[in-house]
């Protein structure tokens, strides 16, 4: 079984400030981890993903996340917020699996990021 | 490369009716997953189709059913609509390579279903 907890349903930062969105996961198998962004009235866009290898992953729009197995965390960061970053962010986990099947994504409840001028 | 497309964009139905939502997968992808996103919540997995067969199902009743076609497009059917079925329905496609292994799911824009 897998689950995701996103700490803070709403995060507000000033333009140019550090963005930190928290995600903790639970998984009975080695996890694959994802961050998606959703703009109003749109679908989900992939920001970045961790599967195997380097634990610090870089994504689009200057975002990055670090997989910390000991802390079961996959927090999303960006050094300097931009107004266009305002959106809802979802952390998701899936199971790495053997066999010919792709596995479901389990999402957190999301964190709404607002950026103040 | 064509992305994931969904139709219709919006839909209004009344309680007890049936609805069919459609999804065209991204070019080169062979797996389709469906998710329900209620207002203010994260997406919830409904089911996944791989090689035209259901490959995993979430905690949804049998009145939620689906199909995958030889061209890898997919339909989600919901019978006996209830008010709580009002949500954004998201389709995601991905590529499963021979021999297994997961791959990234790419999402369409969604279909907003309102049940009155």
Interval A70-94: pLDDT, tens: 999 999 999 999 999 999 999 999 8
- Closest residue, chain B, to A97 (C-alpha): B101
Secondary element (H or E) of residue B34: strand B31-37
Any residues with CB less than 8 A from the CB of B52 and at least 6 apart, and which? B67, B68, B69, B70
CB-CB under 8 Å, A100 with B99: yes
Nearest CB to B48: which of A51, A92, A102? A102
**Lowest-pLDDT choice from A48-57, B58-67, B94-103:** B94-103
Q: Which of B11, B18, B55 is nearest to B33 (CA)?
A: B55
Q: Give me the sheet containing B64-68, strands edge to edge.
A: B5-7, B19-24, B74-78, B64-68
| pLDDT class of A104 with cuts at 50, 70, 90 | confident
Beta-bridged to residue B94, according to DSSP, are: B31
Instruction: Tell me: pLDDT of B63 over 80.
Output: yes
CB-CB under 8 Å, B50 with A101: yes
- Closest residue, chain B, to A42 (C-alpha): B109
Cis peptide before B8 (omega within 30 of 0): yes
Nearest-CA distance B108 → chain A (Å): 6
| Set of chain A residues whose Cβ sits within 8 Å of the Cβ of B100 | 97-101
Burial call A28-43: b when 16+ CB within 10 Å, e when fewer: eeebbbbbbbbeeeeb
| Set of chain B residues whose Cβ sits within 8 Å of the Cβ of A43 | 4, 6, 90, 107-110
- Whole-number mean pLDDT of chain B? 91
List, for residues A30-83, the tens digit of each pLDDT value.
Answer: 788 999 999 988 889 999 999 888 899 999 999 999 999 999 999 999 999 999
Q: Please answer whether residues B111 and B88 qualify as being in contact, where contact means their C-beta atoms are separated by less than 8 angstroms.
A: yes
Judge whether A5 is closer than 8 Å to chain B, CB to CB.
no
**What pLDDT is attached to residue B74?**
96
Q: How many residues does chain B have?
A: 116
CA-CA distances (angstroms) from residue B114 to B35, B38, B111? 16, 11, 10
Judge whether B60 is closer than 8 Å to chain A, CB to CB.
no
CA-CA distances (angstroms) from residue B12 to B19, B62, B83, B86, B114? 9, 21, 11, 9, 5
Instruction: Tell me: pLDDT of A2 over 90.
Output: no
Q: Which residues between 23 and 42 in chain B have a beta carbon less than 8 angstroms from any beta carbon of chain A?
A: 31, 33, 35, 40-42
Q: Which of B8, B6, B4, B5 is nearest to B106 (CA)?
A: B4
Judge whether B104 is closer than 8 Å to chain A, CB to CB.
yes
Measured between alpha carbons, how far is B37 from B110 in angstroms, rounded to an integer? 9
Nearest-CA distance A104 → chain B (Å): 7
| pLDDT class of A100 with cuts at 50, 70, 90 | very low
Beta-bridged to residue A50, according to DSSP, are: A33
């Amino acid at each position: 079984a897998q689950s995701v907890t996103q700490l803070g349903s709403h995060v507000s930062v000033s333009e140019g400030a550090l963005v930190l969105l928290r995600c903790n996961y639970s998984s009975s198998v080695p996890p694959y981890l994802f961050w998606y962004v959703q703009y109003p009235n749109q679908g989900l866009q992939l920001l970045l993903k961790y599967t195997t290898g380097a634990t610090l992953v870089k994504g689009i729009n200057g975002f990055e996340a670090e997989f910390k197995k000991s802390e079961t965390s996959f927090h999303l960061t960006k050094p300097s917020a931009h107004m266009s970053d305002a959106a809802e962010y979802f952390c998701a986990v899936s199971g790495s699996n053997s066999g010919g099947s792709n596995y479901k994504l389990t999402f957190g409840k999301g964190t709404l990021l607002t950026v103040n001028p | 490369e064509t992305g994931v497309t969904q139709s219709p964009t919006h839909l209004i139905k009344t309680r007890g009716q049936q609805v069919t939502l459609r999804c065209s997968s991204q070019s080169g992808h062979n797996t389709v997953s469906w998710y329900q996103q209620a207002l203010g919540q994260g997406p919830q997995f409904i089911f996944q189709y791989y090689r035209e067969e259901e490959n995993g199902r979430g905690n949804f009743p049998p009145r939620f059913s689906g199909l995958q076609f030889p061209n890898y497009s997919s339909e989600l059917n919901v019978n006996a609509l209830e008010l709580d079925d009002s949500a954004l329905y998201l389709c995601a496609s991905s590529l499963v390579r021979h021999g297994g292994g997961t791959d990234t799911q790419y999402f369409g824009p969604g279909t907003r279903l309102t049940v009155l």
